[in-house]
Structure 1
Amino acid sequence: MNQAHKPSFSFELLYIVGIIAISFSSIFVRWSEAEVSVIAMYRLYLTNLVMLPLVWKYRTELFSLTRKQWMLIIWSGIALGLHFLLWMGSLRLTTVASSTVIMTLEPILVMLGSFLFFRTGTNRAMLIGMGLAFVGSLAIGAGDFHASGQALLGDALSFLGMVAVSIHMLMGKHLREHLSAFVYNFWVFAIAATSLALYNMVNTIPFTGYAPREWGLFLLLAIVPTLFGHYLFNWLLKYINATAVSMAVLGEPVISSLLAWVLLGEKLSALQFGAGFFILFGVWIFIRYGTDFKKQVVHQSELPASEPPLKTGS
């Protein structure tokens, strides 16, 4: 009994690591003075650079994709690049709390998509957990939503970024059934970065001339929220359903808002602070008592030898 429970705890721990990692993304973006399309482009290209030492190991799989897989990977990459462009852009117009709280709509969209395309079911505990977390997320942003001006545009960009990442997540769920995390992430990150590079070329945004501090932030974005966030979640897609993985976004406003309060001086009301614990409670119910989450978690002993957790990303 204890042996069966041990592997699921490992997945839950990795899940929490991923939530913490992605929460640093908004802080690094705020610290950077570069255009958001440049930040996102170098974030992804540097991630691929870190992954290069393992390319030889996966060389056969990297170049043996079917035409359908290539098409899905291309669209998934474009969706991810669009997500970064829109969401990072929203951080320049509205607060971290508002921008991240809108992203909490992602699990609802992913759950609907999973039901329509993959016939993935949910249970009562998952719905209750999602509801609690969503209500808490709204409370975090309640004191920060604006009805007009730049903040409203920022909210709209965050919403569109949420739609884009939901599409990316659903395509990733399908592709990860047949591809290793390394191959999927390598090509998706490369395509997303290249789509952003084309955007920068069309808009004559410079590729060079950035201070060493900016390059340091690009690298931090590549390592912390991308490798230990997006890469980790894409790896988990094979063993946990897409709705459960996308639930991680509900924990992000809590940690991001606290980080913004400490590091950026953004105010956080007592209501928002209390709502953070409400969100965490909802996430805990979702991953602890959601049978669909548990049902798709596999034991460490069942993992294929070519797919070690995290090792492929570091």
Structure 2
Amino acid sequence: MEKPAINPFIPIIIGVFSVALSAIFVKMTSADSGVTAFYRMLFSILIMSPVFLMKYTPEIKKLSKRDWVFTSIAGIFLAFHFILWFESLNYTSVASSTVLVTLQPLFAFAGTYFFFKERLSIKTIVSGVIAVGGSVLIGYGDFKISGMALYGDMLALIACALITAYLLFGQDVRKRISLVTYTFVVYSVSTITLFFYIIAKGESFGPYPASEWMWFLLLAIIPNLLGHTLFNWSLKWVSTNVISIAILFEPVGAAILAYFILGELLSASQIIGGSVVLAGIILFVADFKKIKSKFFKEKA
């Protein structure tokens, strides 16, 4: 496998900052969760279409039955991840929702171990536990063990499991096909899934005020085309575990943005938790040589 043109950790960092804006944009919309997710995905594939049609359509013929199955499953998981996560933001705070939806190492470590036979070092496990502990602290002061907040927390947790499954299936397919083709097909499957979901739920495709369309478009451009696409690019060279650890920084950025934009106050536990998350990430990436030998899929 060829070496990446740039260090994959750079796109991953940019991707994390991009997806941190997602919860803010969703909070600013008044549309149903399924509709918000649908237009996010639809605008993404419309923006990508010119590049895909001009250069990458021949690659579609190279997709095996296994690739189609895995990519379709990934797209369906992504669709329901968005539905459940967006819905969770109607019941709980940005801090709590993003904390729960980014607890991916709990699922990713298990998934890569059972499906890809990736061994987990003590350092990897410890750093993951530290970062997860920090994520829990971020939202601790806002967690409520009853009522609608608990319902929102549960939706976010299920959304977390779905996005991890999406990345795991993508990790397999991205070894064989280009970023643009994989992303276009996954987003297309996700858009189709959301289309039928909206019809089944009886939700409205419109009309909406201009401000709503602006938020839909921003969701497509920044969290999707910058955030998730950069993660998909990185999957060719790094493990799902690497991305899952990095995404733990998302609650930190989202909580800060929610404070300044939405007026959601930060508690002491959230500030301390953010520091713990950063400590876990630093521990994980401190020894680049070990990470390279363990996670990078390149020939010696």
TM exceeds 0.5? yes
Residue 88 of structure 1 is matched in structure 2 by 86
Partner residue of 2:272?
A: 274
CA distance in 2 between partners of 1:43 and 1:180 (Å)? 22
1:79-122 Cα deviation digits (max 9, x unpaired): 00000000110001000111111123212211111111111122
Whether contact under 8 Å (1:8, 1:297) holds in the other structure is no
1:12 deviates by: 2.1
Task: Name the counterpart of 1:52.
Answer: 49
CA distance in 2, matches of 1:63, 1:196: 25
Q: Please state if 1:110 is matched with 2:79.
A: no
The equivalent of 1:23 in structure 2 is: 20
Q: Name stretches of at least 5 consecutive residues in structure 1 with no aligned partner.
A: 1-6, 303-314
Paired letter, 1:281: A
In structure 1, C-alpha distance between the alignment counterparts of 2:8 and 2:170, rounded to whole Å: 18
Residue in 2 that maps onto 1:190: 188
1:259-286 Cα shifts (integer Å, max 9, x gaps): 1111111111123112212211211221
Q: Alignment partner of 1:57: what SS? A: helix
* Counterpart Cα distance in 2 of 1:194 and 1:101: 28
TM-score computed with the length of structure 2 as normaliser: 0.93
Q: Give the conservation status (yes or no) of the 8 Å contact 1:123–1:292.
A: no
Residue identity matched to 1:53: P
How much has 1:65 moved relative to structure 2?
A: 1.4
Residue 94 of structure 1 contacts residue 151 of structure 1 at CA under 8 Å; is this kept in 2?
Answer: yes
Q: Is the 8 A contact 1:287 1:294 kept in 2?
A: no
Measure the CA separation in 2 of the matches of 1:139 and 1:8: 37
Matched, 1:127 2:125: yes
User: Greater CA deviation, 254-263 or 242-251?
Assistant: 242-251
Aligned 8 A contact 1:122 1:292 in 2: no
Are 2:245 and 1:244 equivalent residues in the alignment?
A: no
Map of 2:233 onto structure 1: 235
Task: Tell me which of 213, 217, 230 is aligned to 2:211.
Answer: 213
Change (3 A) 1:298 1:114: closer
RMSD in angstroms over aligned alpha carbons?
1.9
Q: Which residue of 2 aligns with 1:147?
A: 145
Distance 2:259 2:177 in 1: 40
CA gap 1:61/1:48 in 2 versus in 1, 3 angstroms: same
**1:289, 1:121 → 2: CA distance?**
17
Provide the C-alpha distance between the structure 2 equivalents of 1:176 and 1:12, rounded to a whole number of angstroms.
Answer: 17
Alignment equivalent of 2:65, drawn from 63, 67, 88: 67
Could you report, residue by residue, the CA deviation over 1:140-199 in whole angstroms, capped at 9, with x for unpaired residues?
A: 111011111110110110111111111111100111111111111101111111101101
CA displacement 1:15-53 (0-9 Å, x = unmatched): 211110000000000001111111110101111111112
Question: Which residue number in structure 2 is paired with residue 137 of structure 1?
Answer: 135
Matching residue of 1:99: 97
**Count of residue pairs brought into register by the alignment:** 295
**Cα distance, 1:52–1:138 mapped onto 2, change above 3 Å:** same
Q: Does the Cα contact within 8 Å between 1:126 and 1:289 map onto a contact in 2?
A: no
Deviations 1:201-239 (A, max 9, x none): 112211120111111111100111111111110110010
Residues of 2 paired with 1:293 and 1:108: CA distance?
Answer: 19
Tell me how far apart the structure 1 counterparts of residues 61 and 33 of structure 2 sit (CA, whole Å). 31
Aligned to 1:310: none
In structure 2, the CA distance between the partners of 1:298 and 1:202, relative to structure 1 (3 Å rule), is closer
Amino acid of the residue matched to residue 242 of structure 2?
A
User: How far did residue 13 of structure 1 move?
Assistant: 2.0
Cα–Cα, structure 1 residues 167 and 298, in superposed 2: closer, same or farther, change >3 Å?
closer
Distance in 2 (alpha carbons) for counterparts of 1:298 and 1:252: 25
Structure 1 Cα separation of the partners of residues 291 and 110 of structure 2: 16
For 2:297 and 2:256, locate their aligned partners in 1 and report how far apart those are by CA, in whole Å.
33
- Secondary structure in 2 aligned to 1:34? coil
**1:10 maps onto 2:7 in alignment:** yes
The equivalent position to 2:33 in structure 1, one of 17, 32, 36, is 36
Give the match's secondary structure for 2:62: coil
C-alpha contact (below 8 Å) 1:140/1:273 kept by paired residues: yes
Look up the match of 1:163: 161
**Distance in 1 between the 2:170 and 2:73 partners?**
10
CA–CA separation in structure 1 for the residues paired with 2:36 and 2:288: 36
